[in-house]
Amino acid sequence: MRAALGTLLVLVTVVVAACSGGSTATPVPDDGGALFGGREVADYFRSNCSSCHGTDRAGGIGPALLPERLTEDDGFYFETIAQGRSGTSMPAWRRAGLTDREIEALVDFLRTEP
């Protein structure tokens, strides 16, 4: 039940942020600052993912991570972040310490417009 409420909170937050016309940064849900050490998802992405995927998520060493380019279901992207991609420079972020909830937040972030 608690996980379902957390997921609902993230979805509502993303929808409100997308519709508000305000900041494009996806806020950290009200989880007591547990995700990404209290940092915003966008800030975590910039610090850890943008060197390969670009600060604008348009790609580089790694593929573009823009909503219109994400043709697989969320499970595919979750597993890619969690387990990495063999034969590429994509690391297994679960082994680097990301929780399932943090990986879910990153997948949700990738589904938003930059």
Q: What is the pLDDT of residues 77-88, one digit of tens each?
A: 999 999 999 999
pLDDT at 8: 39
Q: Is 83 in a helix, a strand, or coil?
A: helix
Q: What is the pLDDT of residues 60-75, one digit of tens each?
A: 999 999 999 999 999 9
Contact yes or no for 52/43 (Cβ under 8 A) = no
CATH T-level assignment (fold) for domain 39-114: Cytochrome Bc1 Complex; Chain D, domain 2 (1.10.760)
For the chain, domain boundaries: 39-114
pTM of the model: 0.72
Which residues in the chain come in under a pLDDT of 50? Answer: 1, 3-28
Q: Give the integer Cα–Cα distance in Å for 60 and 23.
A: 25
Among 74, 73, 84, 24, which Cα is nearest to 49's?
Answer: 84
